[in-house]
Structure 1
Amino acid sequence: MTQLNEDRLLQVLLAPVISEKSTMVAEKNEQVVFRVASDATKPEIKAAVELLFKVQVESVQVSNVKPKQKRFGRSTGWRKGWKKAYVALKPGQEIDLQAAP
């Protein structure tokens, strides 16, 4: 694999996902959930997490969140779809999202 561009890696992770499900997954499996760029690949996500948080990543699972149709009165529209990544850390590794950059 070629060396990934550091500028690109800084744009891959958009935000951590804070929800009931992501909190349960974090406590149970030592996984962290991130909202990622829609064109991000698994190797890019792994490299970005390792670069930003200085941890070792064991695996990455990616999920596409489908857009939802929303209505306001008679008008309808669509919410944007997005991509999220479940990042499993190696045993003993931890990410503290409050102290993260």
Structure 2
Amino acid sequence: MAIFSRRKKPVSETRTVESVAGAPRTSGSALAALVLMGAPATEKAVAGEARGEYVFRIRPEATKGQVKRAVVEQYGVTVRAVRVVNVPGKVRRRGRVQGWRPGFRKAIVTIAKGQKLELVRA
């Protein structure tokens, strides 16, 4: 048998999957898994929750629009604003050996009043 056959293979039928109208929402989404990396458990982040501001670590290439869509899909809340901060890395020393703690990117997401998020802290 040749590696590249010139004969056409018969085309098989494809099935379509119908969505169920009353199906429960699955926890999480593909976009949220790609964009959101977790919620830090810092004093500042926890204090902001009283004002409706939630902090998430995000991927370095993520945009504000992607963060907004990911939070809406993941938690089903109304997002009012998204602020993004690039936290720089810092120099750390142990004796004469110098190293770097890597920087990261975080998003501060403000949600509508009266809504809350149940976060799992990292």
TM-score (norm 1): 0.85
Greater share of strand: 1
Shift of 1:93: 1.4
Q: How does 1:1-101 map to 2 (within 5 A)?
A: 7-27=30-50, 29-98=51-120
Shift of 1:63: 0.6
Percent of aligned pairs sharing the same letter: 35
RMSD: 1.6
Q: Which runs of 5+ in 1 are unaligned?
A: 1-5
Give distance in 2, aligned partners of 1:91 and 1:25: 13
Write the letter of the residue equivalent to 2:66. E
Shift of 1:9: 3.8
Deviations 1:10-34 (A, max 9, x none): 210001021111111111x211000
Q: Which runs of 5+ in 2 are unaligned?
A: 1-28
Greater share of helix: 1
Give distance in 2, aligned partners of 1:96 and 1:8: 19
Bigger Rg, structure 1 or 2: 2
Q: Which moved more, 1:89-98 or 1:45-54?
A: 89-98
Give distance in 2, aligned partners of 1:58 and 1:48: 14
Write the letter of the residue equivalent to 2:70. A
TM-score (norm 2): 0.71
